[in-house]
Structure 1
Amino acid sequence: MNRHSPLSPVMTAVNTAKGLPNAHYIDPEIFAEEKRSVLFANWAGLGFAKDVPEVGDAMPMDFLGMPLLVVRDRDGAVGVFQNTCRHRGMILVDKPQKIAGAIRCPYHSWCYGLDGALKATPHVGGPGQNRHSDVDQNELGLFRVRSHVWRDVIFINIDGTAPEFEEAHATLLERWKEFDQPVYPGGEISSFQLTVKSNWKLAVENYCESYHLPWVHPGLNSYSRLEDHYNIEERGAFSGQGTLVYRQLTAEDGSRFPDFANLGAQWDEGAEYIAIYPNTLIGVQRDHSHAIILEPVDCGKTIEHIALYYAKSEAKTPEHEALRLTNAQQWKVIFEEDVFVVEGMQKGRHGEFFDGGRFSPAMDGPTHNFHHWVASQVELGRTL
């Protein structure tokens, strides 16, 4: 296998380009390369802020093998740290929990504040001596991972080289500025996971295009037809699809979810679904939204973490509990319909004669845009 086959055919115009070579889906060495140049070097989705709702809540997570700890600090902000003690590298927190006082290492009891600062080093200078002149607590806080929360998604930039989140995604923030308002999770029924035997990139590619709707989502396509959709492409940042005929879910009594406030007429019957590179998928509608974080496990396995959000909280809309359940069930069906597609494409990437495929210039622009971005990030990484 030619692991480092030229990527220039991927980076031409959509009408002549080929897709990413097979190795980018099935080769562990390329997966490891993309881990650094694509996922660690950009604002990747890690998790949801809703999972640490209160001060002191701590959630251990792994991201491509790196142990991380998400914490809600005393100011109410979400922080992300490497989940290893600065003393001997012991894992600090091994299950979700409430930190009442300090983050305490279970090995030698070094303690850290919710802000990551080292607070205590018991017996570091000998029995009963909790200080030592050669151990500067000010220099031994937890390693903080650069993070940003937007629409409840916790984004991280592990290598620290990406532009500020607001700069990197300025175009999308402007595009969706009307949705710059609080979102409320829909409770336990509105969060679920799907494990797929596929490379994470194939889930991005499938999400950002509408070409497959007539055959993969016949129920959805029955009212939101292929011709009702349009492509969304922003070179170097995101791509996706929009629809002109979003249909609100209506209960038997005629009630619907409350709308987000002060939306323009575009959103009366419109909706958009965008892949934010590298691994976060977000959809916005007038009355609810969803976010999907793709967790790459290895080159052939991905966990999709899915959450639905609303304009009003559960507490303020208890009458919509049944509607939220129906909505979650409908979305789950749609997302499950995609599983055989991404898994089938993963199997197809083992066909040695497959050369990346060709794109439809009319329909595959969003997918080509993503391939172009991945290729550019890999090429950049190879020059550093």
Structure 2
Amino acid sequence: MAKDSPISDISAVRRPVETARGLPNAHYVDPALWEEEKKAVLFSTWAGLAVEGEVPEPGDAKPMTFLGVPLLLIRDRQGHVRVFENICRHRGMILVEEARKIEGAIRCPYHSWCYGTDGRLVSTPHVGGPGHNKHDAIVREDLGLNEVRSHIWFGTVFINIDGQAAPFEEIHADLIERWKEFDQPMVHGGPDSMFTLEVDTNWKLAVENYCESYHLPWVHPGLNSYSRLEDHYNIAEMGLYSGQGSLLYRQIKGDDGAVFPDFPNLSDKWDTGAEYMAVYPNVLLGAQRDHCFSIVLEPVTQTKTREHIHLFYSTKDTDDALREKNATQWKTVFVEDIFVVEGMQKGRMAPQFDGGKFSPAMDGPTHCFHDWVAGRIEAHRNASE
């Protein structure tokens, strides 16, 4: 290990679930390990940033940050969703301060350098002196916006900050195959189908809680009343995702008995089944016959996380009241988890806690996530030696 690397013993995390321990407390509270995890776990993989429905029309632009990195989510004139660093190539000024539609060009408010929605530098006023908008030393073709590698799957925009990860389709081939029936258009439900929860916890604890169904009887009594613990199964293959499935999904109904239209051409498995997957590192997905959702976890600090929830449907022609009812129902479920993940974060200040003991029967999905995080950190440390 490099001399300046943070020190934490994660050897017990990588044992089989029967004897493994969870990640040590320091991985939830120590600033040095927070910096290490940014590089090892979040910048070097395909992390979730947003959903494409946040920029629905050409020209729509939304400034965002990912662990302090200023980014611009934009749908260009050709309709492609792209991610750029939200800075001018001249002096590094922030270009777009608030979400808006780009009617013409993206203009830097400092010296008015202008960029197309595809990132090309198109105008450099007075760069060669007053009234001279060109200079031999300023090659516009070389000074377009810095594009961040991105990929869209399941309506979600994934980014690879360091640009070194293998292609998304290669890394996640297994999950893409597993959910290939949902490789079809998904329509974002609009403003009434998105909400954000502010949670005082480390982002990893939100993933860990989502992975498993063990907590359902006590934390989600309403949900458990019809989708019981015994109706769930673990998805715990060691890899890049884990989660749970339900054998008893119940469609939400309106007061008149109306339901959302199903996604077309689904197999019988989805008539009463549903699956809920954590796609490492920070995206939580739900797949059901009549709607899906994506939760993008934004790690704000080591102890604060924003959960951005978005609901998708098979068509834009869905009932307003039923969409609102569905969003309210899911918000109720997700809010019920807040005290749990915040309580576990507080628990990481107990000096004798050793990462915890996993139930081999119930905690397999969570152990898979811990093992993946530990593996990324080990690889990072070995490369730094």
Match of 2:63 among 60, 66, 88: 60
Aligned to 2:19: 16
Q: CA deviation at 1:352?
A: 0.6
Q: Distance in 2 between matches of 1:162 and 1:271?
A: 30
CA apart distance, 1:162: 1.0
From 93, 98, 107, give the equivalent of 1:104. Answer: 107
Q: Which runs of 5+ in 2 are unaligned?
A: none
Residue 259 of structure 1 corresponds to 262
CA contact (8 A) 1:28 1:298 kept: no
| Runs of 5+ unmatched residues, structure 1 | none
Question: Is the 8 Å Cα contact of residues 3 and 23 (structure 1) preserved in structure 2?
Answer: no
Name 1:193's counterpart in structure 2.
196
Task: Verify: 1:312 aligned to 2:324, yes or no.
Answer: no
Question: Residue 32 in 1 paired to residue 31 in 2?
Answer: no
Partners of 1:273 and 1:92 in 2: how far apart?
A: 37
Q: CA RMSD in A?
A: 1.1
Name the TM-score, length of structure 2 as normaliser: 0.97
Post-superposition offset of 1:3: 4.7
Residue correspondences, number = 379
CA deviation digits over 1:68-103, x for unaligned, max 9? 001111110001000111111100000111111111
Amino acid at match of 1:253: D
Taking the aligned partners of 1:373 and 1:301, their CA distance within structure 2 comes to 22
Between the aligned partners of 1:291 and 1:4, the Cα distance in structure 2 is 34
Confirm or deny: 8 A CA contact 1:79 1:147 kept in the other structure. Answer: yes
Provide the rounded CA distance (Å) in 2 between the counterparts of 1:101 and 1:321. 33
CA distance in 1, matches of 2:190, 2:68: 29
Give the structure 2 partner of residue 333 of structure 1: 332
Q: Is the 8 A contact 2:83 2:149 kept in 1?
A: yes
Partner of 2:146: 143
What is residue 373 of structure 1 aligned with on the other side?
372
Partner of residue 358, structure 1: 357
Contact 2:154/2:182 (<8 A) preserved: no
Displacement after TM superposition at 1:156 (Å): 0.3
Per the alignment, in what secondary structure is the counterpart of residue 33 of structure 2? helix
> Does the 8 Å CA contact 1:3/1:27 hold for their aligned counterparts?
no
CA distance in 2, matches of 1:186, 1:97: 19
Q: How does 1:215-226 map to 2 (within 5 A)?
A: 215-226=218-229
Please state if 1:323 is matched with 2:326. no
**CA distance, structure 1, for counterparts of residue 192 and residue 145 of structure 2:** 34
CA contact (8 A) 2:219 2:337 kept: yes
1:280 aligns with 2:280: no
Q: For 2:236, what is the secondary structure of its paired residue?
A: strand
Q: Secondary structure at the match of 1:296?
A: strand
1:240 lines up with 2:239 in the alignment: no
Whether 1:41 aligns to 2:44 is yes
- Give the residue type in structure 2 aligned to 1:349: R
1:133 maps onto 2:132 in alignment: no
Aligned ranges for residues 171-182 of structure 1 at < 5 Å? 171-182=174-185
Moved over 4 A (4+): none
Q: Report the secondary structure of 2:250's partner residue.
A: coil
Q: Note the alpha carbon deviations across 1:209-253, whole angstroms, 9 max, x for none.
A: 000001100111111111110001232310000000001112232
